[in-house]
Amino acid sequence: MNRSSAEIFKRLLKKGWLDRRDDALIWNALDEEEVISDMEVLKSSFSFDTLRVGDRFYMIPTQDNDLFLKSNVDYRKDIRAGSETRIRDLYLLNYLAIYIIYLFFRGEGSNPQCREFITREELISQFTEHCRETEGAETDASDDFSESFIALAQDWLSKTEGSPDSTRVTTEKNGVVNKIMLKFRVDGLFEEIEGKLRPTRKMIDLIPYWLRKERVKEINTWIEEVEADAPDQQD
């Protein structure tokens, strides 16, 4: 293997991306024929994809990757979950995460970002309203929401708002928000500055990749898994 290829792979493993401003020599090596060939072999062997956006080069684990993708155990570690955190709470966190991404990136065309930030108060208010509509689908006999998502919406609505620094995911809305923001910070996707949630440069760069048709299919697969595991949400 080319020495530059090994160094690029090492840096991708360590940080998840390369930035041209950090090391121009390593960046320029990305265009070398031997490095390109080595990266293709590594991508196939370790099940990851790569994406160049402006002056950044990202490593993106695929669904077949069993080294970088995280399990529920990893997830619990990232959010510093206590013994009281239930499977249902993890599903609710994922539900809120998808909703946050939707709020920021539901635009059309090559630039899907439709807002720059949202306050914590606005997020809680809008997600609460969304959950009320979801819960209402149960009495309307609507097919828009599955029983599993209605149950998650009801779980959110049953919680009190709690204090802004709460970590109680089982009983307080702010606790859920704080836990998902902790997860987002670990993954480098969103940050909170002066009470305003904003997507990071990494998130903005990668969202077009994640919204490709193949990725949407993977999201649908996750939703199907939620429904299949619905009985576990009581644990």
Mean pLDDT of 205-218: 74
**Domain CATH number, residue 35:** 1.10.10
Between CA 212 and CA 231 the distance in angstroms is 31
Average pLDDT, the chain: 85
Classify residue 91: in a domain, yes or no.
yes
Between CA 213 and CA 221 the distance in angstroms is 13
pLDDT band (50, 70, 90) for residue 43: very high
pLDDT band (50, 70, 90) for residue 150: confident
Please give the pLDDT value at position 31.
Answer: 95
Regarding whether 111 and 39 lie in a shared domain, the answer is no
Question: Does the pLDDT at position 231 exceed 50?
Answer: no
Between CA 161 and CA 26 the distance in angstroms is 49
Question: Does the pLDDT at position 122 exceed 70?
Answer: yes
Q: Which domain holds residue 40?
A: 3-61
Classify residue 235: in a domain, yes or no.
no
Between CA 140 and CA 134 the distance in angstroms is 10
**What stretch of H or E contains 192?**
strand 190-193
* Whole-prediction pTM: 0.79
Regarding whether 188 and 85 lie in a shared domain, the answer is yes
- pLDDT, one tens digit per residue, over 57-89 is 999 988 777 667 677 787 888 888 888 788 888
